A and B are shown apart, each in its own frame.
Chain A
Amino acid sequence: MSAVIRWGRPAVLVAVLAFGAVFPLLFPNPLTTTYAIDTLIFVGWVVAWNMFSGYSGYISLGSAVFFGSGAYTVGLLALHHNLKGGITFALLPLGGLVGAAIAVPFGLVALRVRRHTFVVVTIAVFFIFQLLAYNLAFTGGNGGVSTPFATWDPSTFNNPYYYAAFIVAVGAITLSWLVRGSRFGLQLLAIRDDEDRARGLGVHTMRVKLTAFVMSAFVTAVVGGVWILFIGQALPESAYNPNYDLTVALMGFLGGFGTLWGPVLGGLILEPLQQQITQHFTNGYSGEIIFGALFLLVILFLPRGLLPTGKEWLTKLQARWERRGQPAPGGGLAAPETAVPAAAGDGTVAAAGTAERSATPGAGGAR
């Protein structure tokens, strides 16, 4: 049992990584790899979003600012220097840097306010950027920017983009994991629970929030860069897409806001779902309607997200199972030693009972 706990998690991780690495070889169909790339792009994005919004509790609905800016940066550089093929991937860090540079003044202004006001400020900044993309001279206005076409073999054309998206997503998760376990991450979580109290305990709240905001922006902009390289064109309404802002937040909430794996799960579920919806419904708005309804359902019935709620159910089931399962060996087979296992059994039951009792008011009290 303990071996399963100890090695189970790394084993699953290695298996998932290996599966991800050979995925395009197993499913070489371009339509499938296209789905996979879109999904990985959103997984990377939502993990980056969660790195700031999930951990700090500051819900941003303006992360498309960084996504779009990263996309435009990479696209414009590729266009003006006529770069195509593998070399374009070297532009991704530059896209990230531009995103990070935008995040500094953005954060310095927006992070002074909290909760609803913060959300509204992020939306406002988002629309400013979309307007700029429409109206500035160098962004190409309504026509957007198109990147030079790579001359790769059509049968494996998607593969480089797949691996770029895969590496970026895995990198984002790794970074999120590092943050989560660090002192810096703990400070973010403390800010989420009670920012003023954290400040009163010596946490430099503004510095911590801004650092997370900039890190998240960097990764989001890199993801945006991968996106434009893959689809080859960015328009103001597609790179700075308000629907993406909402979709990413929904992915985070569905999977488990502020957890490490929740957003990954949310991205893996929702992006393929979105693709299915677009494919099966001819009406362009049906996807938005379904997603809007889903958002409401998640907020109402799964406010903590799939992962934390699932974990809670599992703990409860386990407690029940232990309570029912324990007395059997004591009473049955090991007759001469009845006293010892029975005592151990009682102890476990009592411990499970306490754990459950202490968990229940918490679940109720949190809301």
Chain B
Amino acid sequence: MTALLRVEGVCKAFGGVQALNGCAIEVDQGTIGGLIGPNGSGKTTLFNVITGYERVDDGEVYLNDRKITNLAPDKVFALGIGRTFQLTRVFARLTVMENMIVAAHHKERAAERSRLRNPFARAGGPATRRRAMELLEFTGIEKHAGALAETLSYGQRKLLELSYVLMAEPEIILLDEPAGGVNPTLIGTITERIRELNRQGTTFLIVEHNMEFVMGLCDRVTVLDYGNAVVTGPPEMIRSDRRVLDAYLGTAEGDDDVSAA
């Protein structure tokens, strides 16, 4: 069996900074993958490269063995990769429901391909709205459906981002720090929702600094350092891996640091 998402030898430099340097990772169908590493190790750049927000200098990205390297973000999304952003990005001056409907466009369009396309078709048919409401109930923000997205709290925006990504029923969802800056109760909710979605068959790749969150949720964890995947394995293995400690706490002569930590 080959992996659902496969990144091979991807390189990406910004001026003199080599953000990704021959990075290779795999995420198997139906699993929850974790991506950890110190700040600046290339995690978000890797997400950007996979979802088409950055072009690679070298290397390939595959989804289901189909090459998707350097495809535009809208195409990558249509092929089944959804993502959230580290700093949430919702459409602030649209309502929560309208945010959901924007994300449903490509699915709706596909559904009505048979009949003549009307440029003035009203936004969001009843089926779309029903589905949006279900998802908002699933993430627990259904009460805010009519509110402008800018009035939501930070945590609620994270939930909205997850909700509208789900509108497109992606095969795999990339989450960039879903627990960052979110209160513990909400982290619990998010964990539970991810587990539930995973049981229903959605694959995840998660970037997160909260170790408890990553170790508790992920099947396999990859450690990035200097734009390279240095080690991949189950959480227990990663926890005790020498190279992980090195990457996070400094190298070689770092013996003292580790004991100090």
Name A residues whose Cβ lies closer than 8 Å to a Cβ of B: 178-179, 181-187, 189-190, 192-194, 196-205, 211, 358-359, 361-362, 365-366
Whether the pair B93, A192 counts as a contact (CB closer than 8 A) is yes
Name B residues whose Cβ lies closer than 8 Å to a Cβ of A: 51-53, 72-74, 76-78, 83, 85, 89-94, 98, 101-103, 105-106, 108, 119-124, 147-148, 150-151, 164-165, 168
Whether the pair B150, A186 counts as a contact (CB closer than 8 A) is no
In Å, the complex CA distance between A170 and B108 comes to 31
Whether the pair B123, A185 counts as a contact (CB closer than 8 A) is yes
Whether the pair B150, A203 counts as a contact (CB closer than 8 A) is no
Q: Can you report 11 residue pairs joining A to B where beta carbons are below 8 Å apart?
A: A181-B123, A184-B121, A186-B102, A186-B124, A189-B91, A197-B85, A198-B91, A199-B73, A201-B105, A201-B165, A365-B92
Query: Which of A186, A192, A200, A366 has a CB less than 8 Å from the CB of B123?
Result: A186
A176 to chain B, nearest CB (A): 11
In Å, the complex CA distance between A358 and B83 comes to 28
Whether the pair A183, B121 counts as a contact (CB closer than 8 A) is yes
Which residues from B are CB-within-8-Å of A365? 92, 150
Whether the pair B73, A182 counts as a contact (CB closer than 8 A) is no
Which residues from B are CB-within-8-Å of A189? 91, 93-94, 98
B112 to chain A, nearest CB (A): 10
In Å, the complex CA distance between A186 and B53 comes to 22
A145 to chain B, nearest CB (A): 34
Which residues from A are CB-within-8-Å of B122? 181-183
Which residues from B are CB-within-8-Å of A186? 94, 98, 101-102, 123-124
Whether the pair B91, A197 counts as a contact (CB closer than 8 A) is yes
Which residues from B are CB-within-8-Å of A205? 74
Whether the pair B105, A187 counts as a contact (CB closer than 8 A) is yes
Using known A-B contacts A194-B89, A366-B93, determine if residue A203 contacts B102 with beta carbons closer than 8 Å.
yes
Q: Which A-chain residue is minimally distant from B93 (CB atoms)?
A: A193
B238 to chain A, nearest CB (A): 29
Whether the pair A184, B119 counts as a contact (CB closer than 8 A) is yes
Q: Which B-chain residue is minimally distant from A361 (CB atoms)?
A: B151
In Å, the complex CA distance between A183 and B108 comes to 10
Closest 3 CB pairs of A and B: A202-B106, A193-B91, A183-B123
A336 to chain B, nearest CB (A): 35
Using known A-B contacts A190-B94, A366-B93, determine if residue A200 contacts B73 with beta carbons closer than 8 Å.
yes
In Å, the complex CA distance between A279 and B30 comes to 74
Using known A-B contacts A190-B94, A193-B92, A358-B147, determine if residue A201 contacts B123 with beta carbons closer than 8 Å.
no
In Å, the complex CA distance between A205 and B105 comes to 12
In Å, the complex CA distance between A185 and B165 comes to 20
Which residues from B are CB-within-8-Å of A359? 151
Which residues from B are CB-within-8-Å of A187? 102, 105
Using known A-B contacts A182-B121, A358-B147, A362-B150, determine if residue A202 contacts B77 with beta carbons closer than 8 Å.
yes
Whether the pair A201, B101 counts as a contact (CB closer than 8 A) is no
In Å, the complex CA distance between A229 and B147 comes to 47
Q: A183-B122, A190-B94, A194-B91 are in contact. List 16 more A-B contacts (CB 8 A).
A: A178-B120, A182-B120, A182-B123, A183-B108, A183-B123, A184-B120, A185-B123, A190-B91, A192-B93, A194-B89, A200-B51, A201-B164, A202-B105, A203-B102, A205-B74, A366-B92
Q: Which B-chain residue is minimally distant from A200 (CB atoms)?
A: B73
Whether the pair B168, A201 counts as a contact (CB closer than 8 A) is yes
Which residues from A are CB-within-8-Å of B92? 193-194, 365-366
Whether the pair B74, A362 counts as a contact (CB closer than 8 A) is no
In Å, the complex CA distance between A298 and B102 comes to 31
Q: Which B-chain residue is minimally distant from A184 (CB atoms)?
A: B119
Whether the pair B151, A199 counts as a contact (CB closer than 8 A) is no
In Å, the complex CA distance between A359 and B150 comes to 9
Query: Which of A183, A197, A202 has a CB less than 8 Å from the CB of B168?
Result: A202
Q: Which B-chain residue is minimally distant from A215 (CB atoms)?
A: B119
Whether the pair A202, B103 counts as a contact (CB closer than 8 A) is yes
Whether the pair A200, B74 counts as a contact (CB closer than 8 A) is yes
In Å, the complex CA distance between A194 and B103 comes to 13
Whether the pair A199, B91 counts as a contact (CB closer than 8 A) is no
Which residues from A are CB-within-8-Å of B102? 186-187, 190, 198, 201, 203
Which residues from B are CB-within-8-Å of A203? 74, 102, 105
In Å, the complex CA distance between A337 and B162 comes to 47
In Å, the complex CA distance between A199 and B106 comes to 11
Which residues from B are CB-within-8-Å of A194? 89-92
In Å, the complex CA distance between A139 and B54 comes to 46
Which residues from A are CB-within-8-Å of B151? 358-359, 361-362
Which residues from B are CB-within-8-Å of A184? 119-121
In Å, the complex CA distance between A200 and B54 comes to 12
Q: Which A-chain residue is minimally distant from B81 (CB atoms)?
A: A200
Which residues from A are CB-within-8-Å of B51? 200
Whether the pair A196, B77 counts as a contact (CB closer than 8 A) is no
Most buried by B among A196, A198, A202, A203: A202
Which residues from A are CB-within-8-Å of B72? 199
Which residues from B are CB-within-8-Å of A200? 51-53, 73-74, 76-77, 83
Whether the pair A201, B103 counts as a contact (CB closer than 8 A) is yes
B150 to chain A, nearest CB (A): 5
